[in-house]
Amino acid sequence: GAVVSQHPSWVICKSGTSVKIECRSLDFQATTMFWYRQFPKQSLMLMATSNEGSKATYEQGVEKDKFLINHASLTLSTLTVTSAHPEDSSFYICSARTGAAKEKLFFGSGTQLSVL
C-alpha cells in the first residue's frame, strides 16, 4: 500500500507553546490529506480536510485558529497546534488518499502529543 510518513512520533511540550506535526506522502502525490484526533479508547475524529494549494476545511467544533493546517505541496501537509493546553493532549493521525484507490485512506504512524 501507499506510504504516509508522519513526524514526530511523540512530543512533550509545555502549556502555551506551539507544536508542528508533519505528514508526507512518500510514494504518491496526495492532493487531499485528512487530520484525525483520537483520545484514549475512543474513535478517530476527523478534524479537517487539507487540500493542496487551498485553505483547509475544518469540521464543526474544531478551531481553525488553534489548529493551523498548511498543505503547500502535493506531498506535505502540516498541522500546527498553537498555544497548546493539556486538553489538547491526544493522538494525532494524518491520512492521505491516492487517486487510484477510490476512498481508501492510508494513515501515518501518528503523533502522541502530551502537553504539560
Partner 1 sequence: QKEVEQNSGPLSVPEGAIASLNCTYSDRGSQSFFWYRQYSGKSPELIMSIYSNGDKEDGRFTAQLNKASQYVSLLIRDSQPSDSATYLCAAGVSGGYNKLIFGAGTRLAVHP
Instruction: Return d(Cα 22, Cα 108) in angstroms, integer.
Output: 10
Q: Considering the rule CB under 8 A, would residue 106 count as an interface residue with partner 1? A: yes
> In whole angstroms, how close is the CB of 33 to partner 1 at the nearest point?
11
| Contact string 13-52 vs partner 1 (x = CB under 8 A) | -------------------x-x-x----xxxxxx--x---
Concatenating the DSSP letter of every residue in 2-55 gives --EEEE-SEEEE-TT--EEEEEEESSS--SEEEEEEE-TTS--EEEEEEETTS-
Q: Is 107 near partner 1 (CB under 8 A)?
A: yes
Q: Binding residues for partner 1, per CB under 8 A?
A: 1, 6, 32, 34, 36, 41-46, 49, 91, 93, 97, 102-110, 112
